Amino acid sequence: MTEKEKQQAGELYMGGDPELTADRVKAKKLCAEYNAAPYNDFQKKERLLDRLLALRGENTWIEANFFCDYGYNIIIGDNFYANHNCVILDCAEVTFGDNVFIGPNCGFYTAGHPIDAGQRNSGLEYAKPIKVGSDVWIGGNVCVMPGATIGDNVVIGGGSVVVGDIPSGVVAAGNPCRVLRKISENDKM
């Protein structure tokens, strides 16, 4: 089994593997080109996202600077907006539903490292997928950690650290992120 196959299977793998390193270099080059493209060169930015991401829906906009590890593990639905300094460490699949809005300085981290120092120092790591549902607003400076799932129709408060599953239809915040309340008709302005 190759290191990439181990990575995709959720097993411990060597992150410094030459194949994985080459894949990261390719993605980093595309991210650098995307970030350097003129803001209003919409066609160029769309072409770069098409080359970088596994799949993206209609109306995708990601502000510079944007960084990811591989790109080929990122799936984005329709009407997606990510503000400045979005980081997606997509060693495992990261899926976003439709109508997702992400504040500035947010990170989605599928990558993890063993607690055991010997394993960690040997270069082993693991990856767990992240899933974000539809109709989700994620405030600024939020970190979504390996294996987390965020349901549909959710608001995540700024500065939160999402370490587990957040159910649909709620406002959640904190470190660790926890449900504060359900979204109701009273929330309409």
Q: Catalytic site residues?
A: 113
* Residue 166 CB burial class (10 angstroms; 0-12, 13-18, ≥19): buried
Per the DSSP assignment, residues forming a β-bridge with 144 are 108, 162
Cβ atoms within 10 Å of 81's Cβ, excluding its own: 16
What is d(CA 165, CA 179) in angstroms, rounded to the nearest whole number?
10
What is d(CA 178, CA 164) in angstroms, rounded to the nearest whole number?
9
DSSP letter (8 states) at residue 58: S
DSSP letter (8 states) at residue 118: H
> What is the separation, in whole angstroms, between the first and last Cα of the chain?
54
